[in-house]
Amino acid sequence: MQTARHNNHFLLPSKNQGFALMTELASLVIFGFGMLALSTLSEKTVSASSESLQRTHASWMVNSLISRMSMNVEEARKLAYTKNKVNCNNANPNDRTVADLNSIFCKGANTGEQGMAQTKPIDVMGDVDWEITCTDSDGSDALACSKNSVFNITVSWEAAGIGTLNSRKSISYDYNL
C-alpha cells in the first residue's frame, strides 16, 4: 500500500508547477520592449544622420556660391546669381554665372578627370531653393551691391524622406564682398 500512496503524490498538482513558463513569458515581454526601444532609436539615428548629411551639402552649396561670387565679383555685385540664370539643359553655357549656378544646382552626375561619376549634393536633398540678398554699403552709386556690401545667402530644401524629416530646412550665411 505504501507504493500506491507514493504514486498518487506525483499526480497531485504542485504549488510551483508552471512557474518556469511564467518566467519565460515575462523575459520574452521584457526582451520585446527592449527590441522596440532599439528600433525606435535606430530610426531616430538614421533620421539625424540624413539631416546632418543634407546640412553638410547645403553648407557646401553656400561655400561654393561664395567662392564663385568672389571670383566673379562684378556679376555678383549686380546680383546676377539668381534662380532664373540656372539652365540645366544647357551643357555648355556662354555665361560664367550660368555655368557656376549649373555646376551647383543642376541634378545629375559630373564626369571627373578620371571618368568617375560624382553625385551632386542636390541629388541627396529634396527641392533645393536659394536666395541671395544684399545690404548695400553705398546707396549713392548705380551698383546693387557696392564694395564691402553684405551678401546674405540662404539655401533651403525640402527635408522629405527618412523619419521625421518632412519639413523645410534652411541655412543662411552673411558674406562681405
When pLDDT is averaged across residues 125-144 and rounded to a whole number, the result is 84
Alpha helices in the chain (DSSP H): 2-11, 19-71, 73-77, 96-105
Three-class SS state of 64:
helix
Domain assignment of residue 41, given as a range: 19-176
> What average pLDDT does the segment 15-42 reach?
85
Which pTM value belongs to this model? 0.68
Whether the pLDDT of residue 109 is over 70: the answer is no
Domain membership of residue 3 (yes or no) is no
On whether residue 80 sits in a domain, the answer given is: yes
Check whether 175 has a pLDDT greater than 60: yes
Count up the domains in the chain and report the number: 1
